[in-house]
Homo-oligomer: A and B are copies of this chain.
């Protein structure tokens, strides 16, 4: 069940056909979900509640055909490899892999391996600076057991598809907790008006952040109405520990600096739903534009043409993209909550899914089902 299925309308914009990041043409998403075992934690054995998500930015070989991109650090208690290169060059030249905190390395190196296999000229030396991110699922998952392996990254990549995006306890979202409810993967999209170019903006979140009492949906204080005294949270050391990763895709022709600004606007969606960028939260936001395909790889040597022709969205039209990202991020967080199911993890710790009926009751009490 998703927000729209319940009649919850976030913001004023219009979602795309899938209401997902895959509404941006060429973007695909794949998952490997790892759930195994129950009971007391035995490091290396389980219980396992984790996985991998791979986002494929376009239909081509992204290692050799970059896209403009930009990133924003809302709070840096997290990891997203490859950011130095994105900041320097403004270019995304990698698949995007997501997983748990302690498996970033294996995912990162697995992406190097995929790059190596997909090179058009395998004999030519290359280097890869892949994009691999994480949030921490150690409440439910045997995070130190290192259950994510190279094959899981490959499987997620191979399964990547357009169309609907699975939400909640799937892929890298499997063991995640959001505002002390069960969280995970969520997605949403917006279609801009024709006057604003008719572009599509899609968002995917890995939502593992937030404190219960601050959760708000459409401005309604959902978290305070559904407190942990009624719907318990797993016994976390510290509420608000956790993180959210946001990936934004759009076919609007954004330059790198514009992508950076758009990534920053995803933070507004987090703020509006009650996130604070808590100290223990790794809130890293990445935006890329699928326009301006065909740029040469940032390759060594003079083999590339001297200059490249581009399209750029005029800045005077960028507010529409900002609005869309904010709304889609809010709705993706909502969808992550609604898509998730109650999960019992290691040591019997339980993360409860939000109850749609109780959510609707709160929204209705605040006349907040529609904006």
List the interface of chain A (C-beta within 8 A of B).
12, 43, 73-91, 101-110, 112-113, 116, 124-129, 132, 136, 138-139, 143-144, 146, 195-197, 213, 216, 218-221, 224, 237-238, 240-241, 253, 255-257, 261, 264-265, 267-268, 271-272, 275-280, 282, 284, 295-296, 298-319, 322-323, 326, 365-368, 371
A84 to B281, CA, bound (A): 11
Contact A322–B104 (Cβ < 8 Å)? no
Contacts A76-B89, A127-B101 given; indicate if A313 touches B306 (C-beta within 8 A). yes
Contact A282–B319 (Cβ < 8 Å)? no
A322 to B84, CA, bound (A): 19
- Chain B residues near A318 (CB, 8 Å)? 279
Contact B316–A298 (Cβ < 8 Å)? yes
A84 to B368, CA, bound (A): 36
A369 to chain B, nearest CB (A): 11
Contact A312–B319 (Cβ < 8 Å)? no
Main secondary structure, interface of A, reads: mixed
Contact A88–B76 (Cβ < 8 Å)? yes
Contact B90–A85 (Cβ < 8 Å)? no
* Complex A-B: 26 CB contacts under 8 Å: A76-B86, A77-B88, A78-B85, A84-B282, A85-B282, A90-B255, A101-B127, A105-B105, A105-B108, A105-B110, A129-B282, A195-B302, A219-B220, A219-B366, A237-B300, A240-B319, A255-B255, A264-B277, A271-B271, A280-B300, A303-B316, A306-B314, A309-B310, A310-B312, A366-B367, A367-B367
- Chain B residues near A83 (CB, 8 Å)? 83-84
12 additional contacts (CB under 8 A) given A43-B116, A91-B315, A307-B313: A76-B86, A77-B85, A79-B81, A84-B282, A267-B271, A268-B276, A271-B271, A302-B317, A307-B312, A309-B311, A310-B312, A365-B367
Contacts A272-B272, A298-B315 given; indicate if A197 touches B109 (C-beta within 8 A). no
